[in-house]
Copies of this chain bind each other. A is one copy, B any other.
Amino acid sequence: MREVLEEVLKDVVPSEELRRKAEKAAEELEKRLKEKLKNYPDLEFRFLGSFARDTWLPESLEIDVFVLFPESYTEEELERIGLEIGKSVLDEFELRYAAHPYVHGKVLGVEADVVPCYKLRSAEKIKSAVDRTPFHHEWLKDRIKGKENDVRLLKRFLKASNLYGAEYKVRGFSGYLCELLVVFYGSFENLVKEAAKWRRDLVIDVAKGKVYRKKGLKNIFVVDPVDEKRNVAANLSVDNLAKFVEKCRLFIENPSKEFFYPEREKINDEKLEKELESRFVYEISFEKPAIVEDNLYPQLERACRKISEFLENNDFEVIKTGHFVKDDTCLIYVETAFERLGKIKKHFGPPFEVYEHAMRFIKKEREYKHFFEDGKYVTYVRRKYTQADEAIRDCIRNHWKSLGADVGEKIRSGVVKRVITPSPETKEFIWEFLKLKA
């Protein structure tokens, strides 16, 4: 394993040249900020995040600067002044949105974020998530020393399997979580060995240096050293936890560089089409609503879940749902176990013993005769939908309100079709959705 890690380090540790470029940009940004903040003597700024702690990956260099405001500022002031400062110190910029808007841009060709936040006494009293970042940095900055490259290995190991990032699109491991795990387990190698035995009911208390099982816990809980109520792994899904644990096991068993590079799969078009002909996969395509990803993805998940429930309520067994965003189009995929149902289903009445209820049951006007099953009244009623695509179409046309606030508005005029010959842009996603092997 050591040899493999040595090899990989060559790719994950930034070159001297890149470091020099980054340092120069950081110095320039610092100079500009000092100059700018002369106008705001009660504000201060700090370099935080992976750049400040030297845990960044060469392919994702980004300098994070936080501007700290005293609590006397209103949120509106913080936002206005924060953005103004950001715009004035960056060469080119755009607004981005997390809990609050912040400025993203470049300094001497290097990506940078300028994020306003409050300067607080305790991380437990924060007003918004960004206010916690200075505390995270304080806690980590000395503890991570000497382990920076282990963090880099971990990040790349996760990225290769699309497990890096706590955002809703990924539901994986945040950079902060990566650093805490490396501090807790001491090294990448040791983390991998321990994670191979992880369970979803573990509590990892980084500050106290303890790990223990907690009965009934549904997903791993990594206690934030700066706020013990907070789970740093809150956004990590159980299935991504499972993927990570599996990956650790496989890596231990047979260490190789491949674990650090995403695998590109070859798609067999003929196999793909043949598979789609004998399975029932439906695509709903609709215009992407103009919202940020961290809002969009939970809504897409909700839409998948609700469409699934709708189908199941109408007796169409759902095998899997998935979503995929391509440029300005959202795509939802639903695979059902069958395409067509017979026109009737059973409708049960009372056991024959319940005299009055039974009489009401047989006196209702019904399309079919009633009969008994195990002494219980039964009749047939017409199904609302006999075709899966009909059901999906009715769901998005008439029940769009439950499919996410913004997604619902767009999906209602979406297009539903069974997929047999996928477009070139969707092929890769569908190949993976079907769990095909080359």
Which A residues fall within an 8 A CB radius of B?
196-200, 238-239, 241-243, 245-246, 249-250, 253, 275, 278-280, 315, 319, 335-346, 352-353, 355, 358-359, 362, 366-375, 379-380, 386, 432, 434-437
Contact = CB atoms under 8 A, between A and B. Distances in A.
A352 B242 CA distance: 6
A238 B200 contact: no
Nearest to A344: B279
A280 B343 CA distance: 9
Contact of A368 (B200, B241, B366, B436): B436
A31 B435 CA distance: 86
A355 B238 contact: no
A358 B239 contact: no
A200 B375 contact: yes
Give the residue among A199, A342, A379, A432 with the most B Cβ atoms within 10 A: A342
A250 B363 CA distance: 11
Given A337-B341, A340-B339, A358 B319 contact: no
10 contacts: A238-B372, A238-B375, A239-B375, A242-B352, A249-B358, A366-B437, A367-B437, A368-B436, A371-B435, A380-B435
Contacts of A374: 238-239
Contacts of A355: 196-197, 249
Nearest to A202: B353
Contacts of A340: 338-340
A280 B249 contact: no
Given A238-B374, A239-B373, A279-B343, 11 more contacts: A196-B355, A198-B353, A245-B352, A245-B353, A246-B362, A275-B343, A278-B343, A278-B386, A337-B341, A338-B338, A380-B435
A417 to B, nearest CB: 17
Contacts of A243: 372
For the complex of A and B, the 9 pairs showing the least CB-CB separation, nearest first, are A242-B352, A239-B372, A278-B343, A369-B435, A279-B342, A238-B375, A368-B435, A242-B372, A199-B353
A366 B436 CA distance: 10
A90 to B, nearest CB: 41
Question: How many copies of this chain does the complex contain?
Answer: 2
A267 B335 CA distance: 40
Given A372-B242, A435-B371, A200 B353 contact: yes
A280 B342 contact: yes
A339 B340 CA distance: 8
A140 B94 CA distance: 101
A227 B335 CA distance: 61
Give the residue among A367, A432, A435 with the most B Cβ atoms within 10 A: A435
Contacts of A343: 275, 278-279
A379 B319 CA distance: 11
A194 to B, nearest CB: 13
A220 to B, nearest CB: 10
Contacts of A253: 359
A342 B278 contact: yes
Contacts of A246: 352, 358, 362
A80 B29 CA distance: 117
A253 B363 CA distance: 12
A285 to B, nearest CB: 21
A343 to B, nearest CB: 4
Contacts of A373: 239
Nearest to A201: B353
A341 B340 CA distance: 9
Nearest to A342: B279
A273 to B, nearest CB: 13
Contacts of A336: 342
A375 B338 contact: no
A249 B352 CA distance: 11
A279 B381 CA distance: 12
A13 to B, nearest CB: 31
